[in-house]
Each structure stands twice: as structure tokens, then as C-alpha cells.
């Protein structure tokens, strides 16, 4: 099984992003939409408090309808240049402008020094980690109930998604396999499948839910192994019987491991994940 990991020369962004330098030291003007707000919530599963960023559709206060929800990671990079490490995803700008069905976006700030631990379901000999199950339990048992009681959400699994990049892509993918009763729309950008061979074994042992959709994205210049790792995972998923209409794997020529790649492809991923599958 493929296990080549990124090198500093091939992917300086990734290793820097893992460090406490994730927080930018430059003072910049906020670029977040007026539809984005923040709050803090206790995370007993992580023995900490978490800052949460939430995007509400621009028509949220103009009607009484309910909305699908996506849970995202690394909130500092989702909405605002002033908090982003290397540019934001512009999720709020996209949703403000789109005519597609709107969703509530709930983004969880990464834990700084604890980021590797929180966003990895397994440990790595060099980097440690492996506290991802507790992180997901925080989402499932603390954060999601709070969101569903505080906002007008469609709380069922058909309208609940999880989305992330890099380690966030890894934990999103794992979450879908481990908790198919919770997450049905799965956005997996530049996933760190290299972190542990166990993620491949997890797929082999899993029965992929017919209710789930996976959008997996990788750039061809992210690392020497990224494309091979994603292709290996695609092959495994198909071998496990996933409906090919519910799996979209996209390779971006010359795409690199950074917010630019993820920003430019969020809209198409969102559109595909929100679109119902046509019955045969």
C-alpha cells in the first residue's frame, strides 16, 4: 500500500500548517461576509473550548425555512483572510453569490498545537496524532445538537455534510466511513491518506452507504504520491461497491497543496454534493 509522505521541499505548506505558526502574524482587514458570526462552545471530549464560525444564508432571516448543514475544519481559513494562513477559501463569498440551494456552514477552528491530534483518526510514528474519534464525537454529540437546536437546520443525515482539506480531508473521509448515519455529503480535498495505512484497511472493512456521496479532489503537483494515493482509494471504494454516480474524483493539473486550489474548487464540489442523484 502507498505510504510515501510529503517532504519539506515538495510541500512546505503542509508541514508549516501543522505547526503553531498556522495563525498569521500579519494584521489584515477582515474579509468575512456579514452573514458570518462566531461563538465559543465547550468541547468536553477534547478538554477544551472551541471557537466556531457559522455562515447563515443571506435569506435566513427573511423566511422560516430549514437548511442543510456542512461541518468544516480549520475555520481560520474558511471565511476570512485576516485569520487565514495562506488565503481563505471564500466559502461565504461563494454562497452569498450563488443561486444554488443555500446551506448553513459550521466551521471549527483547529486546535493549534492540537491540530494533528484532532484531525487524525490514527497515529503516525513521526507526527503522533490519533485523537480524531474524540474530535468527531465533539461534533456529533456536542456541536451538532447545539446547532440543530439553535438554528433552523435539516438535521437528518441526508442534509448533513462534512468537508475539509489535507488533514481535514482525512478526518472528513474517516467520519463518513465511521458514522454513515450522520454524514451523507462528503467533501475530501487533498486528503492526507499517507498519514496512516489504516485508512485503507478501514475502507476494506467498511460497507459504503448508498446514501452517501464523496467528492475527492487532488492536485497533480501536491506531492509525489498524492495522485497515486487518491487513485488507490478510488479503486478501493469502487471495489467495495460504491455507486459510481456517488463518487466524483477530480485531479487538477498543476494544482498545489494550498488554499488557492481549494478555493477555486469549492463551488463545483458544493454544487455536486447538493445535487440529488437521479434515479436509474
Domains of the chain: 12-274 (3.40.50.1820)
User: Is pLDDT at 14 greater than 80 in this prediction?
Assistant: no
Closest CA to 35 of 86, 133, 104, 125: 104
Q: Is residue 22 scored above 90 in pLDDT? A: no
Rounded mean pLDDT, 88-103? 95
pLDDT band of residue 21 (cuts 50, 70, 90) is very low
Mean pLDDT, residues 251-259: 97
Q: What is the pLDDT of residue 240?
A: 95
Q: Is the CB of residue 66 less than 8 Å from the CB of residue 152? A: yes
**Confidence at 1, pLDDT banded by 50, 70, 90:** very low
> Rounded CA gap, 271 and 260, in Å?
18
**Which pLDDT tens digit goes with each residue over 24-70?**
444 458 888 899 999 999 999 999 999 999 999 999 999 999 999 99
Backbone angles phi, psi at 187, to 5 degrees: -100, 120
DSSP letter at 157?
G
**What's the predicted TM-score (pTM) here?**
0.89
Q: What is the pLDDT of residues 177-229, one digit of tens each?
A: 999 999 999 999 999 999 999 999 999 999 999 999 999 999 999 999 999 99
**How far is it, in rounded angstroms, from Cα 250 to Cα 263?**
14
b/e map of 217-226 (b: 16 or more CB within 10 Å)?
bbbebbbebb
Residue 87: band (very low, low, confident or very high) from pLDDT cuts 50, 70, 90: confident
pLDDT tens digit string along 139-165? 999 999 999 999 999 999 999 999 999
Characterize the bridge pairing of strands 36-43 and 247-252: unpaired
SS3 (DSSP) at 95: helix
**Residues facing residue 107 across a β-bridge:** 53, 72
User: Cβ(162)–Cβ(175) under 8 Å?
Assistant: yes
Amino acid at each position: 500500500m502507498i505510504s510515501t509522505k510529503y517532504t519539506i521541499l515538495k510541500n512546505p505548506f503542509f508541514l508549516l500548517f501543522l505547526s503553531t505558526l498556522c495563525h498569521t502574524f500579519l494584521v489584515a482587514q477582515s474579509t468575512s461576509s456579514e452573514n458570518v458570526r462566531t461563538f465559543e462552545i465547550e468541547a468536553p471530549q477534547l478538554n477544551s473550548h472551541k471557537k466556531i464560525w457559522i455562515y447563515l444564508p443571506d435569506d435566513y432571516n427573511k423566511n422560516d425555512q430549514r437548511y442543510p448543514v456542512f461541518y468544516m475544519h480549520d475555520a481560520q481559513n474558511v471565511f476570512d483572510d485576516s485569520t487565514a494562513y495562506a488565503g481563505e477559501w471564500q466559502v461565504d463569498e461563494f454562497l452569498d453569490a450563488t443561486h444554488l440551494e443555500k446551506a448553513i456552514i459550521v466551521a471549527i477552528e483547529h486546535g493549534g498545537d492540537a491540530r494533528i491530534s484532532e484531525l487524525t483518526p490514527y497515529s503516525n510514528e513521526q507526527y503522533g496524532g490519533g485523537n480524531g474519534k474524540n474530535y468527531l464525537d465533539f461534533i456529533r454529540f456536542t456541536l451538532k445538537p447545539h446547532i440543530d437546536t439553535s438554528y433552523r437546520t435539516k438535521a437528518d443525515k441526508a442534509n448533513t455534510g462534512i468537508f475539509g482539506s489535507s488533514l481535514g480531508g482525512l478526518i472528513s473521509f474517516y467520519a463518513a466511513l465511521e458514522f454513515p448515519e450522520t454524514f451523507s455529503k462528503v467533501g475530501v480535498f487533498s486528503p492526507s491518506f499517507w498519514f496512516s495505512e489504516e485508512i485503507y484497511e478501514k475502507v476494506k472493512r467498511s460497507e459504503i452507504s448508498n446514501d452517501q456521496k464523496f467528492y475527492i479532489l487532488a492536485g497533480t503537483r501536491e506531492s509525489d504520491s498524492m495522485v497515486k494515493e487518491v487513485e488507490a482509494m478510488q479503486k478501493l471504494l469502487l471495489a467495495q461497491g460504491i455507486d459510481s454516480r456517488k463518487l466524483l474524483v477530480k485531479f487538477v493539473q498543476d494544482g498545489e497543496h494550498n488554499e488557492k486550489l481549494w478555493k477555486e474548487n469549492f463551488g463545483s464540489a458544493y454544487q455536486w454534493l447538493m445535487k440529488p442523484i437521479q434515479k436509474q
